[in-house]
Amino acid sequence: MRNWFCLASLFVLLSFSAISCSGLQTTREWDTTEKTMFVANQAIRTIDMMQTSYIFANAAFYEVNPILVAGVSILGPLFVPIYFIGVGIAEYLILDQIENPVYRKVAIGVLTAASIGLVYHNNSIGVGLSSPR
């Protein structure tokens, strides 16, 4: 069951990335580089989501994001993908308001670099990947 949930979460995140690349923007058309960068960002976020699920499933680790800790204490592990999908949607909506293509690329790059740093840190302390239980 949890493998299906993980695959469904991945599908939703990647589907959102595909929708964002379809030209439904409210400001101006995203170019191919911006679309590719955003999809890469969402792929890294998916890995971060799976690592966060692993953290909540293993007592050897603890989560430091207070929003995730509070959400999981209320809704259980289902909150993790809800949080990450919400963050992905919010990122897209905010990025879409940046009209200058250079600034948008920089913003996507900064967000992606931050996510890569989180994933790298989690991996360096032994956090694996898991789907919500």
In the chain, where the domains are located: 2-124
* pLDDT of 84: 93
- Indicate if the pLDDT at residue 23 is higher than 70: no
Amino acid at position 112, single letter: T
Single out the residue of 73, 14, 72 nearest to residue 46, CA to CA.
14
* pLDDT of 76: 87
> pLDDT digit string (tens) for 51-62?
998 888 888 888
> pLDDT digit string (tens) for 61-108?
888 889 998 988 888 888 999 999 999 999 999 999 998 999 999 999
**Angle of helix 32-57 versus helix 101-124 axis, rounded to 10:** 30
- 62 or 116: which carries more pLDDT confidence? 116
pTM of the predicted model as reported, rounded to 2 decimal places: 0.75
* pLDDT of 1: 44
Q: Which two tokens stand for residue 72?
A: 């999981």
List all residues 6 or more positions away from 6 whose beta carbon is below 8 Å from its beta carbon: 50, 53, 131, 132
- Indicate if the pLDDT at residue 124 is higher than 70: yes
